[in-house]
């Protein structure tokens, strides 16, 4: 039986796929987030099955094991002393952990039973986004102080989908980008908001679905992947600067 755990190491938030207790060697795959982004990595060799072979057990500051859900999206917010997790597949929700705490969530916001429960966070501002996609697409923004959102944005019913990598906040917290799919128009859209107030800034559209979205540190530029193509977008004008195949 496989299991997923959430680990906080020094400066890195990790989702681990741990092997059964009897398996002390083999291959381990984990997702980690650091100051440069989120990555998928694989380790091969012997390791402690409790921590999934993650580096050295002494590096782990705390571990949260959820018997029901999978931490599908994670984000660190040092400015708010927060580690945010979006739990998926049975009891979908967002959780906040104190980075220098004991691994016990001190905030939970539930989502719909089929939500992809996307979280994103700024690095240098106390700001985190939670995108609940069931039954409707609702974007809510929080800080570390409580369960009441700072602002929310509900998308109309013609928006029917998104991506677990389609929501992001610039490092300084000034701009939030959220990808949604307009089923009626059969096009992908990236909506830009002022991170602090939720004021809509712009919308960029593309014929078809998109995969992932990222922002520069100040939110001025946005990079989006569409199938095997990468596209760089000016947020202020919603125009494409250039594209290139990957």
Task: Find the CATH number of the domain harbouring 221.
Answer: 2.130.10.10
Please tell me the total count of domains within the chain. Answer: 1
In a domain, 236, yes or no: yes
In a domain, 149, yes or no: yes
In a domain, 233, yes or no: yes
* pLDDT for the residue 26: 64
Per-residue pLDDT of 203-217, as tens digits, reads: 999 998 999 999 999
Beta-bridge partner residues of 82: 77, 98
In a domain, 35, yes or no: no
Least reliable range by pLDDT among 33-47, 77-91, 226-240: 33-47
In a domain, 1, yes or no: no
3-state secondary structure of 59: helix
Residue 178 predicted with pLDDT over 90: yes
DSSP string, 146-213: -SS-SEEEEPPTTEEE--TTSEEE-TTSSEEEEEEEETTTTEEEEEEEETTT--EEEEEEESS---EE
Domain range for 74 is 66-245
Q: How confident is the model at residue 24 (pLDDT cuts 50, 70, 90)?
A: low
Residue 49 predicted with pLDDT over 80: no
Least reliable range by pLDDT among 29-38, 113-122, 152-161, 219-228: 29-38
Main-chain dihedrals φ then ψ at residue 33, nearest 5 degrees: -120, 125
* pLDDT for the residue 228: 84
> Which residue would you say has higher pLDDT here, 236 or 49?
236
């Amino acid at each position: 039986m496989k299991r997923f755990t959430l680990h906080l190491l020094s400066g890195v938030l990790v989702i681990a796929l741990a092997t059964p207790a009897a398996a002390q060697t083999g291959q381990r795959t984990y997702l980690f987030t650091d100051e440069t982004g989120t990555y998928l990595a694989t380790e091969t060799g012997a390791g402690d099955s409790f921590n999934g072979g993650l580096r050295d057990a002494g590096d782990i500051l705390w571990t949260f094991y959820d018997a029901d859900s999978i931490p599908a999206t994670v984000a660190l917010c040092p400015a708010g002393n927060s580690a945010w997790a979006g739990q998926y597949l049975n009891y979908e929700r967002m959780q906040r952990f104190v980075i220098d705490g004991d691994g016990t969530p001190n905030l939970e916001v539930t989502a719909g039973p089929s939500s992809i429960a996307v979280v994103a966070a700024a690095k240098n501002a106390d700001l985190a986004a939670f995108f609940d996609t069931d039954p409707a697409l609702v974007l809510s923004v929080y800080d570390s102080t409580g369960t009441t959102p700072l602002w929310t944005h509900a998308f109309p019913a013609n928006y029917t989908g998104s991506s677990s990598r389609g929501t992001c906040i610039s490092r300084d917290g000034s701009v939030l980008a959220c990808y949604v799919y307009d089923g009626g128009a059969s096009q992908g859209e990236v909506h830009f908001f002022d991170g602090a107030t939720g004021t809509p800034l712009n919308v960029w559209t593309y014929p078809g679905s998109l995969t992932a979205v990222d922002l520069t540190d100040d939110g001025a530029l946005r990079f989006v992947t569409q199938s095997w193509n990468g596209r760089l977008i000016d947020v202020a004008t919603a125009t494409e600067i250039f594209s290139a195949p990957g």
